[in-house]
Structure 1
Amino acid sequence: MPKDYSKYLDSLNERQREAAFSDIATPLMIVAGPGSGKTSTMVGRILVLLNEGINPSNVLAMTFTTAAASEMRDRIGAIAGKEAAKELKISTFHSFSLQLCRSHADKLGRTQEFTIFGQGQQRRAVIEAMRLLRNENSKQDDELCKFVEDPGGINSPQYLKDKSRKWQKFVTQAKASGKTTGYYIKMGNDIEAAVLEHYNDILRCCNALDYHDLISCSVKLLTDFPEVLKECQDLWKAVIIDEFQDTSAMQYSLLRILASHNHITIVGDDDQSIFSFNGADISGFDSFREDFPNYKEVRLNKNYRSTRCIVEAATSLIQNNVKRCRLKDVVTDNSSGSKVTIKECHNEDAQCTFVIDKILETMSSGSTGASSFGSFAILYRRQVSGKVFQAALRDRKIPFNVHGVAFYRKKVVRAIFAMLNTTLPGCDDVHYRRVFKALLPLEKEETKRV
């Protein structure tokens, strides 16, 4: 083994090394608690695979975010060399699926230049699907008729807009779990089936897929087209999945097919699953145990990140969750640290005042070594809360940086891209709509007429 490989692997703790050196022929489940060095373990696992003769181009590692993918590639590059790191396929589920779908777009009834619908475009497609359902005539049965009748404004655009949130959530959950129009018809849910069918038809007409389609269409390609499956199996000799607890039923189906050779490693922790609203399903751990019965399980239970007070507080809280795989004994060598403080505020203004006062108090006491405002981070759940904090910080003349919407998702940037797209042949209505909205900031009724 190269000296740099050995030096890195020697720096891992006993359980991390056990995971890294596990036999590739045995499916491996790494249950990684918070702050337990899972990225270090995954890097070690990949280094061992490379040392055992697997070509870097035959390793597929899927992470939850592009940032995590970049970090893993950088770490491997620092040890195995940049060339080896470049050859590795490290990407998110959606990035991997996008590449696969573009390569075989014709099999999906799309062109290679298909559009990917984001949340806003999804919402408009859902509204249009509801409008199509509403406009269908006497062929509807009694239940559908109740839905499309007009008892005080149900035909209004505002009604459709208000209801679209519910139906967008339904479409997302249906696609994440792999439920089709046929499933809802079989269950007798004709309305759900009709909305989903219209929604899919709209995307097909627009030469578009949404983010959940990328996964389900990848599964379709691997299931319905043996040549695509063989191509992928010949290429990916080892599959590694990060943040397994956040995978949906369809994502699990995808990785199960890709890893039919059993050369699979999953890394995750059911206690950290927070994306159920987006289709994440922690029952994937049970499915993995059933589908790969000869699996090996390694638990990383040492927390390197947090103080003892934080570890004990988190443990006492999460142990009340009855849906856990099994009890976990998280340990840490860190000092006790400050106790966790919980403050209940009656409104957002009071919350901002409390947080800012606490920052100023901590700085003036010097007890934590925080000598500048750059030593503090304020985390919030909703973008609207961020705006309130920004206003409060400006009022108190406190400098701050905002880590918000990604550059390419900003409205102005998306409008510029839309303008460029209108110059290309075959540009769809989505881009023209965005350009009109950007160039014509008029009243709603006037915009509608335009």
Structure 2
Amino acid sequence: MSGFSEDMPFFDEPNARPSAPSGIAARAMAARSGHNNAPDYLKGLNPEQRLAVETTEGPVLVLAGAGTGKTRVLTTRIAHILATGKAFPSQILAVTFTNKAAREMKIRIGVLIGEGNVEGMPWLGTFHSIGVKLLRRHAELAGLRSDFTILDTDDVVRLIKQLIQAEGLDDKRWPAKQFAQMIDGWKNKGQGPADIAEGDARAFANGKGRELYKAYQERLKTLNACDFGDLLCHPIRILRANPDVLKEYHKRFKYILVDEYQDTNTAQYMWLRLLAQRPQGKPGEIGRSSAETRATVNICCVGDDDQSIYGWRGAEVDNILRFDKDFPGATIIRLERNYRSTAHILGAASHLIAHNEGRFGKTLFTDRNDPEDGKVNVHAAWDSEEEARAIGETIEAYQRQKHNLNDMAILVRASFQMRAFEDRFITLGLNYRVIGGPRFYERLEIRDAMAFFRVVAQGADDLAFERIVNVPKRGLGEATIRQIHDTARALRIP
């Protein structure tokens, strides 16, 4: 049970308003202490953090440097909105960048205001998990059924390979994986087949890029399937083409919160603006850069323009830099007190990032003043083998000083750089553990098991069928599988 009164609205009653404070709101008021009359959940916040929590109305951008407590600010802000009766849990849209961050946020809010109140927050999750929820509710508007399948990367590549071969193209000259990456890039920009630039369309398969992209989308619809990019692109098109649906969500969401805003790509930015901006102009202008479409909304984005590291997968740091233009009159709050690093580390990092152009600017500092904190040392190595050899010697020296291996870590920019270290550590007999590797659902055996389930659930899922037709080995070759496909097409079996 939630702490709200019994007249709390169901999900389909977006216009209902919170009644007089009761439940968690009443408990919050009762918890107010003599110090500045603050409820318990606000205790321990520094002045800037508290300002970010209590500035609930209008657009707010929180520039949170690394280690400044941004997760605490976000979770406490949600708790504050709920505890003061400003909104019901179902009226808050809270978007995180990863599933792990969403789970952590739910746990922290539960600690602050009670687990039952967090369970009433159906719109707390990643861009894609919320996109799935929206799409399943309005699947027919995208030409799908609500039980659509979400294809993984392997399925996408196999499907594209089928289409390339059907066009009589050489799939070695024009690899399916390459085209899958191109499609993913287009969808990160919110571009369908009709939207891509002519030069991009002609860059693959002798100018057949647009036709293949269109055939791919049509095949997905036939299979009642989506890829990862569709989980945002379909909702964007639905909201743009159906003002009544968009208006429903405008009424539903009283508060919008976004984490890691600097890592959003163009499609995520378009999706967010559609939901966040209350349009005053024509429906066709919604989600575009028109002053007529802008209206005040209670949106809070938390991010750090200095930590934008995902440009290689479509992230646009300009999204955070133009926040005050997208939402005129926005309040900008800087969190600069660092609780994680030493003064030496902050000094080195600040000196480097100061060379970046086009940034808001902030100065991180720490109250930590430990004379034993080590300085940042920089060493250059001739190649990866020399680097691994030097680090191996350093680790052995630390071991002789009785330091534990569990207290040491090596960070690399890309996984291929680990090879030299692993070879060296094996030679030295050093125990090590690699953090990372394939995720659970990316493991071969798990993908095979999921494909069996998909064939049972949807017999027309030929991508899943193709995956498991030879698992375990049944002696079926590519020619036989292609003949099965051709027969299915001739009989008009999807």
More relative contact order, 1 or 2 (CA 8 Å, 6+ apart): 1
After TM superposition, list the pairs within 5 Å mapping 1:247-258 onto structure 2: 247-258=264-275
Identify unmatched segments of 5+ residues in structure 1.
Answer: 136-154
Pair 288,395 (structure 1): closer, same or farther in 2 beyond 3 Å: same
Instruction: Tell me what 2:464 maps to.
Output: 431
Unaligned runs of 5+ in 2: 1-27, 33-37, 279-296, 482-494
Q: Say which SS state the counterpart of residue 173 (structure 2) adopts.
A: helix
| Distance in 1 (alpha carbons) for counterparts of 2:111 and 2:130 | 24
Quote the residue 1:217 is aligned against: 234
Partner deviation per Cα, 1:312-356 (whole Å, 9 max, x = no partner): 21112222222x323321212234732333444455444443333
CA distance in 1, matches of 2:422, 2:397: 19
Aligned-pair CA distance for 1:244? 0.3
1:74 aligns with 2:107: yes
Cα deviation digits, residues 23-54 of structure 1 (max 9, x gap):
42x11110111111101111221122113311
Aligned length: 420
1:200-279 superposed matches below 5 A: 200-261=217-278, 262-279=297-314
Tell me the alpha carbon deviations over residues 264-323 of structure 1, each in whole angstroms, 9 at most, x when there is no partner.
10001111111122221111124432221021110111221111221121112222222x
Partner of 1:16: 49
- Aligned to 1:312, the other structure's residue is in SS state helix
Partner secondary structure for residue 30 of structure 1:
strand
Taking the aligned partners of 1:203 and 1:341, their CA distance within structure 2 comes to 53
Q: CA RMSD in A?
A: 2.7
What code does the residue aligned with 1:314 have? A
**Following the alignment from structure 2 to structure 1, what is the Cα–Cα distance between the partners of residues 194 and 140?**
23
The answer on whether the counterparts of 1:97 and 1:214 sit within 8 Å (CA) in structure 2 is: yes
Q: Are 1:172 and 1:279, in contact at CA under 8 Å, matched by a contact in 2?
A: no
Check 1:182–1:158 CA distance in 2 against 1; reply closer, same or farther (3 A cut).
closer
2:315 matched to which residue of 1? 280
Which residue does 1:168 correspond to in 2? 180
For the 8 Å contact 2:56–2:81, the answer to whether it is kept is no
2:56–2:298 Cα contact (<8 Å) kept: no
Q: Percent identity?
A: 29
In 2, Cα distance between equivalents of 1:233 and 1:352 = 55
Q: 1:7 to 1:211 in 2, by over 3 A?
A: same
Q: 1:427 to 1:356 in 2, by over 3 A?
A: farther
Counterpart CA distance in 1 for 2:378 and 2:177 is: 32
Letter of the structure 2 residue corresponding to residue 230 of structure 1:
K
2:146 is the counterpart of 1:92: no
Amino acid at match of 1:360: E
User: Are the equivalent residues in 2 in contact too, given 1:421–1:427 (CA < 8 A)?
Assistant: no
Amino acid at match of 1:169: Q
* Amino acid aligned to 1:180: G
Q: Kindly state the Cα deviation for residue 70 of structure 1 after the two structures are TM-superposed.
A: 1.2
* DSSP 3-state at the match of 1:298: strand
TM-score by length of 1: 0.84
1:33 aligned onto 2:65: yes
What is the rounded CA distance, in whole Å, between the counterparts of 1:166 and 1:320 in structure 2?
35
Q: Is the 8 A contact 2:159 2:463 kept in 1?
A: no
Q: Which of 80, 90, 104 is matched with 1:57 structurally?
A: 90
Q: Deviations over 1:168-227 (max 9, x none)?
A: 332222111122322336779553433422332232233221111111111122222234
- Cα offset, 1:413, TM superposition: 1.1
Q: What residue is the counterpart of 2:375 in the other structure?
A: 339
| 424 and 281 in structure 1: CA distance in 2 versus 1, 3 angstrom threshold | same
Q: Take 1:297 and 1:448, find their aligned partners in 2: how far apart are those partners?
A: 62
Q: 1:111 aligns with which of 124, 142, 145?
A: 145
Q: How far, CA to CA, are the matches of 2:241 and 2:171 in structure 1?
A: 40
Aligned to 1:193: 210
- Counterpart of 1:295 in structure 2 is 330
Deviation at 1:97, TM superposition (A): 0.4
Q: Which has the higher helix share?
A: 1
CA distance in 2, matches of 1:205, 1:229: 26
SS at match of 2:364: coil
**2:337 aligned partner, one-letter code:** K
Structure 2 CA distance for aligned equivalents of residues 342 and 114 of structure 1:
52
Q: Deviations over 1:74-123 (max 9, x none)?
A: 11111101111221232111111011112222221122222222223333
* Cα distance between partner residues in 1 of 2:200 and 2:189: 18
Q: Which residue is 1:362 aligned to? A: 398
Distance 1:58 1:432 in 2: 41
Summarize the alignment of residues 132-171 of structure 1 with structure 2, pairs less than 5 Å apart. 135=168, 155-161=169-175, 164-171=176-183
Match of 1:11, SS state, is: coil
Structure 1 position 422 matched with structure 2 position 421: no
> How far is 1:362 from its partner?
2.0
Cα 1:281/1:185, change in 2 over 3 Å: closer
